[in-house]
Structure 1
Amino acid sequence: MRSQRGTALVDLTLVTLVLVPVVLGIIQVALVLHVRTTLAAAASEGARLAATADADPAAGIARARAQVAASLSDRYARDVTVHRVLVDGAPGVEVTIRAVVPALGLGGPGVELTVTGRAVSEVAPP
């Protein structure tokens, strides 16, 4: 029995060395996916507003930036653009958001995300 003394501490250390990085990696991937999903929702919301008959494209940019700032941070809403496009052959609006998300902690290298939201433009009644 004396030869087994202290093995629990060694086992715990070895398991912790493997398990902690795996758990931290899963959390980081989840955070990047959360940011991506939030940016995509904000881009879609901005496109829907910009596609209304009485709104201009600048309103779509403002809405997308406000959504991102309210949900995440202002730093993710710096590069927001809007373009007139064809959506399945119909005139529409596309809002694009580009942001850099830190992939390895707050100070690590970043992953550049580009998300778009599209909406078919409304036609004003005659």
Structure 2
Amino acid sequence: MRWRPCAGERARGRRHRGRDAERGNAVVEFVLITVILVPLVLGVVQVALVLHVRNTLTAAASEGARHAARADAGLPDGERYARGQASEAIAGRFLDKVVATSSRVDGAETVVLRISAEVPALGLFGPAVRVSVEGHAVEEPR
């Protein structure tokens, strides 16, 4: 009489052979997931960086406009103040223009301060994205 494995032993043997056939799949899966996940994460980080710079420049423009709108200050004072605020927050080499103008809106004299900057699209390097923001303030009577 010849020995034959029972059903449980045959199933275990097949399972063992299946593991050998799948050996090395974890490395391939890791590479495939990493190729998709790393650019996605870096893209989210880059968008966050550009939004942070834009929000920082908006705050600097608003502060500069408020400074220029004071009764004891003028437009050049607001430009200098905004440039100083923006240079503290981001590198000054990225700032392009800081321009303050005065206009009449709904019967009130208003200061409009515009800041233009170029933000590198790849962290601190690479092609730049142009960001332009404005800050507004109503002038105090002199």
**Bucket of the pairwise TM-score, normalised by the shorter protein:** over 0.9
Which of 30, 44, 56 pairs up with 2:74?
A: 56
* 1:86 equivalenced with 2:108 (yes/no): no
After TM superposition, the score normalised by the length of structure 2 is 0.83
Aligned equivalents of 1:87, 1:72: Cα separation in 2 = 31
Which of 24, 40, 50 pairs up with 1:22?
A: 40
Moved more, 42-51 or 104-113: 104-113
Aligned equivalents of 2:34, 2:99: Cα separation in 1 = 45
Classify the secondary structure of the residue corresponding to 2:126. coil
Aligned sequence identity (%): 51
CA displacement at 1:95 relative to structure 2: 0.6
Query: 5+ residue gaps in structure 2?
Result: 1-18
Distance 1:11 1:87, change over 3 A: same
Moved over 6 A (4+): none
Aligned equivalents of 2:24, 2:63: Cα separation in 1 = 59
Pair member with larger Rg: 2
* 1:31 equivalenced with 2:49 (yes/no): yes
Query: 5+ residue gaps in structure 1?
Result: none
Classify the secondary structure of the residue corresponding to 1:12. helix
CA displacement at 1:77 relative to structure 2: 3.3
* 1:74 equivalenced with 2:92 (yes/no): yes
CA contact (8 A) 1:87 1:119 kept: no
CA displacement at 1:88 relative to structure 2: 3.8
Aligned equivalents of 1:56, 1:86: Cα separation in 2 = 16
Aligned equivalents of 2:96, 2:133: Cα separation in 1 = 13
CA contact (8 A) 1:87 1:118 kept: no
After TM superposition, the score normalised by the length of structure 1 is 0.93
RMSD of equivalent CA atoms: 1.2
Aligned equivalents of 2:73, 2:27: Cα separation in 1 = 65
